A and B are shown apart, each in its own frame.
Chain A
Amino acid sequence: MSTIEITPAGSSVAGTPTRIRRPAAARFLQQTTFGPTRGSIDDLVRLGSYRAWIDNQLALPVSLTEPYVRANSNSSLSTTRHHIWWNNVVRGPDQLRQRLAFAWSQIFVVSDRDYVLSNSQYAICDFYDMLARGATGNFRDLLESVTLHPVMGIYLSMLRNEKANPSQNVRPDENFAREVLQLFSIGLWKLRPNGERVLDQTGSPVPAFDQEVVEHFAKVFTGWNYDGLRSWTDTNISLESRDTPMIADDSFHDRSAKRLLDGHLVPAGGSARSDLTAALDNIFEHPNVGPFLARQLIQRFITSNPRPAYVRRVAAVFDDNGHGTRGDLQAVTIALFTDPEARRGYRRHPETFGKIKEPLLRLSQVWRAFDAQPGPEANDIFRPYASAISSIEAVVGQAPLRSPSVFNFYQPDHLLASDTASTGPLSSPEAQILSEINVASTNNMLLAQIYTDNNHGDPSHRRTSTKINIDFELSLADDVDALLRHLNVLVLGGRLPRTYRRAIADHLASYALDEQGRLARVTDAIYCLVGSPFHLVQK
């Protein structure tokens, strides 16, 4: 396919007169960043081109996590990486890359709920930074980096996986072999180029691989260990070994022949390295990879139920970036966000377009929209009111690199349980963690953030909690229409329904125009948007 197809008709080069309206800019920035700000909306409108904005973003230096954690913590304190993660997502200029890193961390899942990884904080940050860097490289390279990172080696036990020992009934470990196929690359079912399942004559989906293939991949992934050890079983593992790529020891590698995907045969006698190269090539070339990844990326950023044609367009760019290269993730990223469905799907398919937001994004969007700053006694760490940052996980039900298992926080095909009689069944991965208890606790956290932890609250209270800045909103308080016009774009991307907007406006107008009345106008207006069901949704 040509690259022209992936560039929407409405985009234009930088510098031409504004063709992106502010609500459209805000919608785009909800998809591509951790939340629109007044400044970022202004910049995008001025630039007048989504494509140019993406190019600018991806050229920015990468905001990392590991250097901060090394400087501020030992390798076992698991709170510090959350401090720098929040700092990066609230303040980092490379917003798109940070969103990409977070999305890829939900495909190449590792979690420091694992007891070994909880004590490997430098390494787990290195893994995350690797995803941030690799998110715009080639998927083949990223797949290999992930495969050989000791954090993945620990998490899915490929590290020190040994060849079979028939006399002891020992087989190679199948953990990484199974999940690299099922979760990281091709999925369980043969897919059409548009992501739909291939069906056999009886209408049943066709498995993409069977148990025997898993067993053969398990043999491939034998013979890898930490770098820098004195022996295969050396228990003295340095911190450096945990974030240096694993190295091969062929004496523990299974040299038998392997039958891989679609019957591809790797002859006997290969080394750990040559078998690994052959196996990752075999995976990378499988036709499922493009549609499998395209659908998951679209779900993470744009909409839970993409039209098959949207998946096909993004997958086609994965297959060929227009210059004959397969797996170019920068081209895939551009295709993802500039596709006509990403930009205009909310108008074309108003009944089904959109998604439930990841719960973390509700908080990051509020913090970014209102230029939040850490409290005066917070050591420059973003915290919600008076609690340790790690409790954000308890409140919202999600934290980076804290999935309960390699199956991520939610599943791509989790069904929306509420009324879909008019649309047919809809997927909604994020609804899987939209629990009653977390909806309540998140609401109350955001309410406290708005009413109590703003920069006009009592300065002697809650000196460690993050404060939002509402000065600009106060400057609009006398003009209810202007205030709501501004907040509608900034907070909801222009989605505030007219009837509800009128109800809010009537309520705000009842306040006197004194200092207290203006403050009430602003805080009530923000809460009526942030606390409403519309804030749980991205369209």
Chain B
Amino acid sequence: MTHPSVHAHGAFDRRRFLASTAATAAAGVTLSTFPFGMASTAAAATGPRSLVCVFLAGGADSFNMFLPLDHNTTDQTYETYRRTRGALAVNARNILPIGNGDFGLHPLLPGLASLAEQDRLATVMNVGPLSRPTTRADYLAQRQIPQSLFAHDAQQKLWQTAQVTTTGNEGWGGAITAAVANGAGVAPSFSLNGSNAWQAAQGAKYARLSPTVPISRLAGYDGSMWNWIPNLDAVAGVIARGQHAAAVSVNAFDRAAETSIADAIATTEQLQEATASSESNDVGMEDIDQNRLARQLEQVARLIKNREALGMPRQIFFVRMGGWDTHGEQAERWPALLTEFNEAITKFAGALDNLDLADSVTTFTASDFGRTLTINGDGTDHGWGGHAFVFGGAVRGGHYGTFPSYSLDNNPDDVGENQRDFAGRLIPSTSVGQYSATLARWMGLSEPQINAAIPHLANFDQRDLGFLR
């Protein structure tokens, strides 16, 4: 049967898109000659690519995930960190060194350390929403400061949209979808954990799936299902008339309800096979029943494994893990959080390796904000800049951006007006826009498309952070 009004994507000429990226490749551009210091080599951009956003909801305390170890600048040493962090400081002896040993990872992140060892983990340091390079003086004068800093919902939105005001509703993930979706069927954009601004954009739908609810088609709209109910065929014909009546309703909510049913029909029809827990869909992620993040990533791995069969040379995914808003009892909550995160990432990376897909899948973290460097007794409060992780076969391992000062005294990166106000809410040195643009470019967005999606990028010299091949 056919359904009205399913998936009206923005018009897009896929052939032209592929041709332009191929031309870039043919021109033999190298890193040094490419305008704007853009690092993307477009050769691989002609093959399939998938991008996965792991959103750490609540504001992850990334200052206790990526740690200074043997870094010798005065205000960036482990000792500075330990003094400022007080009772929540990670013991230096337990930190897992990565790279040349300047930095390390929390002892409960061995899987990430192993990715670092393979040069497939990038850490982007002190990244956060910025409209332009911003100093402490700018902050104190409130010059072009992002809106509603330190508020969860606002900062989630700024991270997901790469904007500096909360009025925008279009994410750069949505811009990717709008650029690559071929206009037919389900868009190659999936959330395994509800709505988000990253994947939303005009002409860019995304399907919201669940790791715990198997995909099943809408029986009453599909007479071939549930055939023990007599005449369901006829009922499906009648209810399609109801769908039509809603589609032409004068009321916006009637129409929205109709769209949601049409989207549910399209999504379940096209994805039932690709997501079923069948043998052919096995991605080898074992023992993950209790790991909610891993279960989301398992569904992601299935959809990546099936991306060619689904006709989706580009896909984007959103998964989310909550619980990171550790104002209280951080020491008690932290092991469970890090263990779930580490295991999920490790098993997902392992699955992609086994499927030989690691080089064409990039996974990145995002979070509401970094947290305060200082503690409130047994936890940390809302901050601004934080560290983010990117991993995958296309990643150039290492750390990117500028490591901030962790100093207690006259910290140039802190937002406090005077020493008495010091809390270690750090002004980011790298913008979410730069971080996002680097990822979007790897997914094949052109420079004009990136500029349209991330307008503030023009205020920064470095348009590509270089962590992707």
Find chain B residues with CB under 8 A from A524 CB.
231, 234-235, 238
Asked whether B252 lies within 8 Å of A503 as measured between CB atoms, the reply is no
The answer, among B243, B253, B260, B328, for a CB contact under 8 Å with A175, is B328
User: Do residues A434 and B408 form an inter-chain contact, with CB atoms below 8 A?
Assistant: no
CB distance from A183 to the nearest CB of B (A): 9
For chain B, residues 211 to 230, give those with C-beta under 8 angstroms from any C-beta of chain A.
212-213, 215-221, 226, 229-230
The digit string for B229-247, where 1 denotes a CB below 8 A from any CB of A, is 1110011011101110110
Establish whether residues B151 and A178, one from each chain, have CB atoms under 8 Å apart when the complex forms.
Answer: yes
Contact of B239 among A438, A497, A532 (CB under 8 A): A532
Smallest Cβ-Cβ distance to A506: which chain B residue: B238
Q: Measured between alpha carbons, how far is A432 from B58 in the docked complex, in Å?
A: 18
Cβ-based interface call for B114 (8 A): no
Q: How far is the CA of A504 from the CA of B333 in the complex (A)?
A: 55
Instruction: Give every chain B residue within 8 A of A174 (Cβ-Cβ).
Output: 327, 376, 381-382
A202 at the interface (CB under 8 A from B): no
- A344 contacts across to B, CB distance below 8 A: none
* Pairwise interchain contact B256-A438, C-beta atoms closer than 8 A: no
Kindly provide the distance from the CB of A355 to the nearest chain B CB, expressed in whole angstroms. 6
Partner of A437, one of B84, B209, B259: B209
Residues of B near A439 (CB, < 8 A) are 218, 260-261, 263-264
- Known contacts A174-B376, A437-B213, A439-B261; decide if A356 and B253 are in contact (CB<8 Å): yes
**Which of A178, A405, A411, A436 has most chain B Cβ within 10 Å?**
A436
CA distance A506 to B381 in the complex (A): 63
Among A171, A350, A405, point to the contact of B152 (Cβ < 8 A).
A405
Which of A66-74, A267-275, A290-298, A417-425 lies at the binding interface?
A417-425
Closest to B149 in A: A211
B252 with A352: CB separation less than 8 A: yes
Question: Is the beta-carbon distance between A168 and B87 smaller than 8 angstroms?
Answer: yes
- Please tell me if the beta carbons of B267 and A536 are within 8 angstroms of each other in the complex: no
Question: Contact at A533–B250, with CB atoms within 8 Å?
Answer: no
**B255 part of interface (Cβ distance < 8 Å):** yes
Given contact pairs A113-B322, A534-B242, A355 touches B253 in the complex (Cβ within 8 A): yes
CA distance A352 to B200 in the complex (A): 22
Stretch at the interface among A100-108, A156-164, A467-475: A156-164
Q: Is the CB of B254 within 8 A of A537?
A: yes
Q: B345-387 vs A: 1/0 string, CB under 8 Å?
A: 0000000000000000000000000001011111101100000
Q: Is A407 an interface residue (CB 8 A)?
A: yes
Question: In the complex the two chains form, is B256's CB within 8 Å of A431's CB?
Answer: yes
- Whether A533 contacts B261 by the Cβ 8 Å rule is yes
Residues in chain B near residue A212, CB distance under 8 A: 421
A416 proximity list for chain B (CB < 8 A)? 252-253, 256
In the assembled complex, which residues on chain B have CB atoms less than 8 Å from the CB atom of A169? 83-84, 86, 374-375, 408
Which residues on A sit within 8 Å (CB–CB) of B24?
none
- With both beta carbons as reference points, the residue of chain B lying nearest to A214 in the complex is identified as B150
Q: In the complex where A178-B150, A447-B220, A500-B242 touch, is A528 in contact with B213 (Cβ < 8 A)?
A: no
A395: Cβ under 8 A from any B Cβ: yes
The answer on a CB contact under 8 Å between B327 and A353 is: no
CB atoms of A182 and B151 under 8 A apart: yes
Q: A113 — which chain B residues lie within 8 A by C-beta?
A: 322
Q: Report Cα–Cα, A397/B251, bound state, in Å.
A: 25
Partner of A405, one of B253, B255, B259, B325: B325
* Partner pick for A420 among B226, B243, B252, B377, CB 8 A cutoff: B252
Total contacting residues, chain B, CB less than 8 A: 85
Contacts of B209 in A (CB 8 A): 435-437
A211-B329 Cα distance, complex, nearest whole Å: 23
Verify if B148 is at the interface (C-beta below 8 Å from A): yes
Per-residue contact bits, chain A 103-121, to B (CB 8 Å; 1 contact, 0 not): 0000000000101100000
Residue with the highest number of chain A CB atoms closer than 10 Å, among B151, B218, B245, B256 = B256
B30 at the interface (CB under 8 A from A): no
How far, in angstroms, from A497 to B216 measured CA to CA in the complex?
28
Q: From residue 345 to 390 of chain A, which have CB atoms closer than 8 A to chain B? A: 350-356
Is the pair A407, B153 in contact by a Cβ cutoff of 8 Å? Answer: yes
* A520 is an interface residue with CB less than 8 A from chain B: yes
Task: Report the minimum CB–CB distance from A47 to chain B (whole Å).
Answer: 29
- Check if B253 sits within 8 Å of A539, measured CB to CB: yes
- B148, B218, B239: the one within 8 Å of A207 (CB): B148
Distance from A388 Cβ to chain B, minimum over Cβ atoms (Å)? 13
Known: A207-B148, A437-B210. A356 touches B84 (CB 8 A): no
- A453 at the B interface (CB under 8 A): no
CB-contact partner of A533 in B200, B234, B237, B257, under 8 A: B257
Contact A441 B213 (CB under 8 A): yes
- Report the bound CA distance from A303 to B453 in whole Å: 32
The answer for the CA separation of A218 and B381 in the assembled complex, in Å, is: 11
**CB distance B381 to A173 under 8 Å?**
yes
B118 contacts the other chain (CB 8 A): no
Assembly CA distance A207 to B83 (angstroms) = 34
Closest to B85 in A: A169
Q: Within 8 Å CB of A236, what residues of B?
A: none
Q: Does B96 contact A (CB under 8 A)?
A: no
Are the CB atoms of B257 and A537 closer together than 8 Å?
A: yes
List A residues 511-539 near B (Cβ within 8 Å).
520, 524, 527-528, 531-534, 536-537, 539
Least CB distance from A405 to B in Å reads 6
Nearest CB on A from B215, distance (A) = 6
B38 at the interface (CB under 8 A from A): no
B410 within 8 A of partner (CB) = no
Q: How close is A5's CB to chain B, nearest CB, in angstroms?
A: 27
Residue A428, interface by CB 8 Å: yes
Known: A211-B150, A539-B251. A173 touches B379 (CB 8 A): yes
Task: Please determine whether B258 and A533 come into contact, CB atoms closer than 8 angstroms.
Answer: yes
Tell me the residues in window 302-343 of chain B with beta carbons closer than 8 Å to chain A beta carbons: 322, 325, 327-329, 333, 336
Contact B256 A437 (CB under 8 A): no
- B195 on the interface (CB 8 Å rule)? yes
Q: How far is the CA of A434 from the CA of B194 in the complex (A)?
A: 9
- Asked if A443 is at the interface of the complex by the 8 Å CB criterion, the answer is yes
Interchain residue pairs with CB less than 8 A apart (12): A178-B382, A188-B148, A304-B253, A404-B194, A417-B256, A418-B255, A439-B218, A441-B216, A444-B218, A520-B231, A533-B243, A534-B242
Besides A437-B268, A524-B235, A532-B239, 15 more A-B contacts (Cβ < 8 Å) are A156-B327, A171-B423, A173-B376, A350-B251, A351-B252, A356-B257, A405-B57, A411-B153, A416-B252, A418-B256, A444-B216, A500-B241, A520-B230, A527-B220, A532-B242
Residues of A within 8 A of B (CB): 113, 115-116, 156-157, 159-162, 165, 168-175, 178, 182, 188, 207, 211-212, 214-215, 218, 304, 350-356, 394-395, 397, 404-405, 407, 411, 414-420, 422-423, 426, 428, 431-441, 443-444, 447, 451, 497, 499-500, 503-504, 507, 510, 520, 524, 527-528, 531-534, 536-537, 539
B: residues with CB less than 8 A from A are 57-58, 83-84, 86-87, 148-154, 169, 191, 194-195, 200, 205, 207-210, 212-213, 215-221, 226, 229-231, 234-235, 237-239, 241-243, 245-246, 249-261, 263-265, 267-268, 322, 325, 327-329, 333, 336, 372, 374-379, 381-382, 408, 415, 421, 423, 425
List the 10 closest A-B pairs by CB distance, nearest first: A157-B328, A435-B208, A175-B327, A533-B246, A533-B257, A536-B257, A532-B242, A439-B264, A173-B376, A503-B241
